[in-house]
Chains A and B, each alone.
Chain A
C-alpha cells in the first residue's frame, strides 16, 4: 500500500501517533511529526512511497516543534534520530528540508554494510549509470531531468552498492532542487511535481521534486553499474563526455565515498570491482536537453 491510498486524516494520525513507516529503498524509516504543514507536504510528495507494516524500521526520526528562545512567538523545528538531535533547530517553514537532510545524515553516518557513494544513480534497461559528485556539481538537477526522460531514478544523492553481489540498491527519494535550478526544472519538466519553495535555508531556496511513480514502483529492482560519469555543470559549457583512465576514476570514486576508509580492504575491492566493470567518463554540461541526449546515446550503445 502506498501513501496516496490512505486518506489524509489517517496519514496524519499515523504521523502524529505511532509514526509513519515508509520504505526508502532497502531501508524502512519511521517518521513522527506533529506539524500539520509538514504533513500536508509529505502527503503530496511522499504519495508513491510504500507504507510498511510488519517490518522493522532501521531509522526512527522525528520532527519536533519548539519555541524559539530568541523569539518565543516563533516556532522552530528540530530533527531527532533515536531521540538525539544532530542539528540546531530551524525555522518551522524549513521542516521538510530539515527532515530530508536529517534522513540523509542518518544514512550517511550509519550505513556501513554497503559501499556508500555520494552519487546520483539512474538506470536504463537494467544497467545503472553513476554520477558521483560533491555538492554544487548539479547532480540533483541532472538526475531530475534524466528520471523524467527515460531513465529510472535510483537516487540523486546515494549510490548504495552491495559489494558482496556487485549490485546497486535503488533509494528513490525527494530530490531537493536549489535556487536557479527550480525555475529551470519547472520550465523543462512541467509535468514534474515540485513542492513549495523553501527560502532562506543554508543552501538557499530549496524545492523538492517528487520521484516519478514508476521509479517508486520498481524500487526493489537492483542493477549493476555499467557507466561511471563524473558530472560538472559549468555555465555556458558545451556538453563534453570524455573517457578517463581507470586509475583516475578509482581515486575519484574512492575519495567520493562516504565510508570508503571505514570499509578498509572491502572498500578497496568494491571500488576496484566497480571501476573494472564500468566505462568511466567526465562530463561537463550546461544544457539539460543536450546532456540528456548525450547520455541516452551513451547508454544506447551496445
Chain B
C-alpha cells in the first residue's frame, strides 16, 4: 500500500518558524502542524510512497534511526491525515 497527498498544492500554509498553520480549502479547516508533519505531506505530494519510504525519508531528514515505534507513530499520523482528507491510500 502506498500513500499520496494529491491536494497538497491547494493548501495555504503560514510558516511560523518550524511550526505551521495550514488552511485546507476542501474542508475549510485550519490545522496546526510541526516540521515533521509538513515534511511528510510535502514528501507525499511528490509521488505515492510506502510507509517504509516515508520513515526512511523522515529519519534521514531528522537524523534519527527509525525503530518500530517510529513507524507505528508515522502510520497513526497517516491515518489521521487520511481522516482529514489530506492524504489517501493507493493499493
Q: Contact residues of A with B, CB < 8 Å?
A: 245-247, 250-251, 254, 260-261, 264-265, 268-269, 272, 275-276
Q: Contact residues of B with A, CB < 8 Å?
A: 12, 14, 16-17, 19-21, 23, 25, 28, 30, 32
- Given B12, B17, B21, which contacts A251 in the complex, CB threshold below 8 Å? B21
Q: Which A residues touch B21, using CB under 8 A?
A: 247, 250-251, 254, 268, 272
Most A-side CB within 10 Å, residue of B17, B19, B20, B21: B21
Known contacts A245-B16, A269-B12; decide if A251 and B28 are in contact (CB<8 Å).
no
The dominant DSSP class at the A interface is: helix
* 30 A–B contacts from the bound complex (CB under 8 Å): A245-B16, A245-B19, A246-B17, A246-B19, A247-B19, A247-B20, A247-B21, A247-B32, A250-B16, A250-B21, A250-B32, A251-B21, A251-B30, A251-B32, A254-B30, A264-B23, A264-B25, A264-B28, A265-B12, A265-B23, A268-B12, A268-B14, A268-B21, A268-B23, A269-B12, A272-B14, A272-B21, A275-B14, A275-B16, A276-B14
The 4 closest A-B pairs by CB, nearest first: A247-B19, A268-B23, A247-B16, A246-B16
CA gap between A93 and B9 in the complex, in Å: 57
From residue B11, how far is it (CB to closest CB) to chain A in Å?
Answer: 10
Most A-side CB within 10 Å, residue of B17, B30, B32: B30
Name the residue of chain B whose CB is nearest to the CB of A260: B30
Name the residue of chain A whose CB is nearest to the CB of B25: A265
* Interchain CB contact under 8 A, A250 and B12: no
- Given B14, B17, B25, B28, which contacts A250 in the complex, CB threshold below 8 Å? B14
* Interchain CB contact under 8 A, A261 and B16: no
Q: Which B residues touch A268, using CB under 8 A?
A: 12, 14, 21, 23, 30
Name the residue of chain B whose CB is nearest to the CB of A254: B30
From residue B80, how far is it (CB to closest CB) to chain A in Å?
Answer: 17
Q: Which A residues touch B20, using CB under 8 A?
A: 247
Q: Which A residues touch B14, using CB under 8 A?
A: 250, 268, 272, 275-276
CA gap between A247 and B18 in the complex, in Å: 10
Most B-side CB within 10 Å, residue of A246, A247, A275: A247
Q: Which B residues touch A265, using CB under 8 A?
A: 12, 23, 25
Most B-side CB within 10 Å, residue of A250, A254, A261, A275: A250
Interface contacts beyond A245-B19, A251-B32: sample of 20 additional A-B pairs, CB < 8 Å, sorted by A = A245-B16, A246-B16, A247-B20, A247-B32, A250-B32, A254-B21, A254-B30, A261-B28, A264-B23, A264-B25, A265-B12, A268-B12, A268-B14, A268-B21, A268-B23, A268-B30, A272-B14, A272-B21, A275-B14, A276-B14
Name the residue of chain A whose CB is nearest to the CB of B21: A250
CA gap between A264 and B28 in the complex, in Å: 6
From residue A301, how far is it (CB to closest CB) to chain B in Å?
Answer: 22
Q: Which B residues touch A264, using CB under 8 A?
A: 23, 25, 28
CA gap between A211 and B32 in the complex, in Å: 38
From residue B79, how far is it (CB to closest CB) to chain A in Å?
Answer: 22
From residue B73, how far is it (CB to closest CB) to chain A in Å?
Answer: 21
From residue B38, how far is it (CB to closest CB) to chain A in Å?
Answer: 12
